[in-house]
Structure 1
Amino acid sequence: MPLATTLFRLAALIVTVLAAIPLAVCYPLLGAAGRTAAVRGWCRSLLRALDVRLVVDSPDEPPVGALVVSNHVSWLDILAVGSVRPGRMLAKSDLRSWPLIGSLAARGGTIFVDRNRLSTLPRTVADVRAALLAGARVVAWPEGTTRCGAETGRFYPAVFQAAIDAGAPVEPVTVEYTAAGRPTTVTAFLGDDPLTASVWRIARARGVAVEVRCRPALPPGRDRRMLAAAAASISVLTPRMDRLVGVHPRQVVDSHPA
């Protein structure tokens, strides 16, 4: 994209992030419906600021108190899934150190997991279980790491124990990205890739779209490993994102010129 367009997108992104500060102040005062609408609206605004088109393929939403699990490609996954299934996010503790975003995430009810200290995992699972029992939707990325988007890894079973203990349904979600109608890795956020470099790369890209496909919810069952394997198999990536060609107008949530 031209430099001027890239800078405009970055400016819009900064303004949208800063707009969350007053929202975060009011957030604890909102009811459940208000919080859901606020998270959904802010996530969609951030995607719109970067000119990322959101395409949704979704059945009716499962009951409140569902565990939503998704494959993991990018930090954009948080915005994409949050635009469709807003809820309390389960995120790595590293997110706390992100400028401003970390504080906003904590105030928004994010549940943090320290993957470098396995001794804290039971406490995290207990927090997720409590949130589900309280009727909150919890969104998790059980691969435990991001991938380039060409494949889906195994889902670690720990978080699924929270769904079993709470008797909560599990909704698998698949997130896929294209640029100019073709599968792309421009949104991938891997290894030591700095957040600033990733944001710049996405802001420069032309015609980026993200498709969020929500699958029918699974009953929790009794075996977390079987539940994790079932969810992973349903969330598996397809070779191409053909739905972006001739997609039904009602599925295109945000569509605007690059």
Structure 2
Amino acid sequence: MITWLRIGFVVVSLAAVTLVLLPLQVVGLAFDLRLRRYVPRYWHRAACRLLGIRIHVHGKSEPRRPLMLAANHASWKDILVLGAIADVAFIAKSEVADWPVFGLLAKLQKTIFVAREQKRQAGRQVNEIAERMKAGEVVVLFPEGTTSDGNRVLEIKSSLFGAAAAAVPQVPGNVVHVQPVAIAYTRVHGMAMGRYHRPIAAWPGDIELVPHLIGVLKAQAIDVDISFGQTIEFRAGDNRKLLSAAVAAQIRRMLLARLRGREA
């Protein structure tokens, strides 16, 4: 009974926060005001607090611009935690735009939707990413291309860094700063979250959303560690495969360290 009362409280509270912030975001989007960049941060912080997601940040986000954050991807909650600590714009596959609830939220945050299989749209999408970075926005890329089980980093797809490569000639200084970020779900109810319990936090995609969401709400307290790695300067002529290998190595090292309770 208490669990369902809590779920009801979270749903009602999150709806109330959304109703308060939604008009501001709609106006910001309509007139392309700067407030559209930071209003989502307040929503994500409220969502994390209500869901019981406690965020621990290690290191600092790169202050130089243009900046692309490259992070491992375990769950839809990655969006919440990254959005709660920084004003960011996400790059997502085009199918996300049609997802119920999440698609609407993504559009409200002005997510950059990429249709990977439609090469005709590639130029327009790359130009949008470049323009957003030129304007000082921090762009987040999940280079695995899909979600994992939270215990490991999947193969990093170098092709997904094509946006960074294509943006280089269009941005100030002809350099894109790429910073690896590791997202590690480490504890539940204050206790170490082993491989068996990590599905509470991770959402590989073959698990139905509603039961998974109820499981998160029942957990009440999930700790996530966000580790910022060493920034890599990507310039014209640099090799995307070398970039992806360097990013993967850093993310794997930081993720493994946090899952083992060590310093990265």
2:28 is paired with a residue whose SS is helix
For structure 2, the 5+ residue unaligned runs are 169-174
Provide the rounded CA distance (Å) in 1 between the counterparts of 2:78 and 2:3.
Answer: 25
Provide the rounded CA distance (Å) in 2 between the counterparts of 1:74 and 1:18.
Answer: 25
Partners of 1:77 and 1:175 within 8 A in 2: yes
Partners of 1:47 and 1:80 within 8 A in 2: yes
Provide the rounded CA distance (Å) in 1 between the counterparts of 2:8 and 2:262.
Answer: 30
Match of 2:134 in 1: 133
Q: Deviations over 1:90-140 (max 9, x none)?
A: 012222123344234224321002345455445433332232233221111
Match of 1:231 in 2: 247
Counterparts in 2 of 1:46 and 1:187: CA distance versus 1, 3 Å: same
Provide the rounded CA distance (Å) in 1 between the counterparts of 2:121 and 2:245.
Answer: 23
Counterparts in 2 of 1:15 and 1:115: CA distance versus 1, 3 Å: farther
Match of 2:68 in 1: 67
- The two structures, once aligned, show a CA RMSD in angstroms of 2.5
Which amino acid letter does the alignment assign opposite residue 126 of structure 1? N
1:169 is paired with a residue whose SS is strand
Match of 2:225 in 1: 211
1:33-48 equivalences in 2 (<5 Å): 34-48=35-49
Match among 172, 177, 183 for residue 169 of structure 1? 177
Partners of 2:21 and 2:39 within 8 A in 1: no
Partners of 1:21 and 1:104 within 8 A in 2: no
Does structure 1 residue 113 correspond to structure 2 residue 114?
yes
2:234 is paired with a residue whose SS is coil
Q: Deviations over 1:167-213 (max 9, x none)?
A: 21001111111313322220211233333232211111142111111
Counterparts in 2 of 1:82 and 1:219: CA distance versus 1, 3 Å: same
Partners of 1:154 and 1:229 within 8 A in 2: no
1:88 is paired with a residue whose SS is strand
Which amino acid letter does the alignment assign opposite residue 179 of structure 2? E
1:135-214 equivalences in 2 (<5 Å): 135-164=136-165, 165-166=167-168, 167-177=175-185, 178-180=187-189, 181-183=191-193, 184-214=198-228
2:140 is paired with a residue whose SS is strand
2:224 is paired with a residue whose SS is strand
Which 10-residue stretch deviates more, 77-86 or 193-202? 193-202
Deviation, 1:42, is 1.5
Provide the rounded CA distance (Å) in 2 between the counterparts of 1:86 and 1:243.
Answer: 28
Aligned residues: 243
2:200 is paired with a residue whose SS is coil
- TM (norm. structure 1) is 0.83
Q: Deviations over 1:202-231 (max 9, x none)?
A: 111142111111112111141111111111
Deviation, 1:66, is 0.2
1:155 is paired with a residue whose SS is coil
Counterparts in 2 of 1:100 and 1:108: CA distance versus 1, 3 Å: same
2:92 is paired with a residue whose SS is strand
Which 10-residue stretch deviates more, 78-87 or 1-10? 1-10
Larger RCO, structures 1/2 (Cα 8 Å, 6+ apart) = 1
Partners of 1:171 and 1:218 within 8 A in 2: yes
Counterparts in 2 of 1:158 and 1:132: CA distance versus 1, 3 Å: farther
